[in-house]
A and B are shown apart, each in its own frame.
Chain A
Amino acid sequence: MLKKILFQILLLNSVLIFSVQSAESGGMPQLNPEFWVSQIFWLIVSFGSLFIVLSKIILPKISSNLETRKSQILENIETAEKQRIDSEKKIEEFEKIILESKVKAKNIINKNRQKIIEDINKKKEILEKEINEEIETVEKEINDLKQKAPEKINIIAMETSIDLLKQVIGVEVNKSSVSAIVEDLSKKNKGKYYGV
Chain B
Amino acid sequence: MYQFNVYRIGPEIKIGEIDISFTNASLFMVISSIAIMIVFNLGSRKNSLIPNKLQLISELSYSFVSKMISDTAGSKAKPYFSFIFSLFMFVLFCNMFGMIPYSFTVTSHIIVTFVLAAFIFIGVTVIGFIKHGFGYLKLFVPSGVPIVLLPLIVVIEIISYLSRPISLSVRLFANMMAGHTMMKVFGGFVVSLGIIGGWLPLSFSVALTGLEILVAFLQAYVFAILTCIYLNDALNLHH
Contacts and interface: CB of A to CB of B under 8 A. Distances in A.
B221 interface: no
Given A17-B18, A36-B111, A54-B36, A68 B47 contact: yes
Interface string A17-55: 100100000011111101111111111111101110111
Given A38-B23, A50-B90, A29 B29 contact: no
Given A50-B90, A55-B83, A42 B25 contact: yes
Given A45-B30, A54-B37, A66-B63, 12 more contacts: A9-B119, A12-B115, A12-B118, A12-B122, A40-B115, A42-B20, A53-B37, A55-B83, A59-B85, A61-B45, A62-B59, A63-B62
Contacts of B110: 30-31
A29 B5 contact: yes
Given A28-B4, A30-B173, A50 B62 contact: no
B111 A30 contact: yes
Find the residue from A41, A51, A55, A62 having the highest chain B CB count within 10 A.
A62
B23 A35 contact: yes
Contacts of A66: 59, 62-63
Contacts of A36: 111
A16 interface: yes
Interface string B106-119: 10111110111011
B111 to A, nearest CB: 5
A39 B25 contact: yes
A58 interface: yes
Interface of B: 1, 4-6, 8, 18-23, 25-26, 29-30, 32-33, 36-37, 40-41, 43-45, 47, 49, 55, 58-59, 62-63, 81-83, 85-87, 89-90, 106, 108-112, 114-116, 118-119, 122-123, 126, 173, 177
Interface in A40-94: 40-47, 49-51, 53-55, 57-59, 61-66, 68-69, 72
A192 interface: no
B82 A55 contact: yes
Contacts, number: 146
B4 A51 contact: no
A29 B115 contact: no
Contacts of B23: 35, 38-39, 42
B22 A39 contact: no
B29 A62 contact: no
Contact of B81 (A9, A37, A59): A59
A42 B22 contact: yes
A17 B20 CA distance: 12
Nearest to B32: A46
Contacts of B63: 66
A61 B44 contact: yes
A54 B26 contact: no
A51 B40 contact: no
Given A42-B26, A43-B112, A62 B62 contact: yes
A5 interface: yes
B40 A62 contact: yes
A35 B6 contact: yes
A4 interface: yes
Contacts of B87: 47
Contacts of B36: 50, 54
B83 A37 contact: no
A39 B30 contact: no
A44 B86 CA distance: 13
B177 A30 contact: yes
Contacts of B20: 37-38, 41-42
Nearest to A49: B33
B109 A30 contact: yes
Contacts of B119: 8-9, 12
A43 B11 CA distance: 18
A72 B122 contact: no
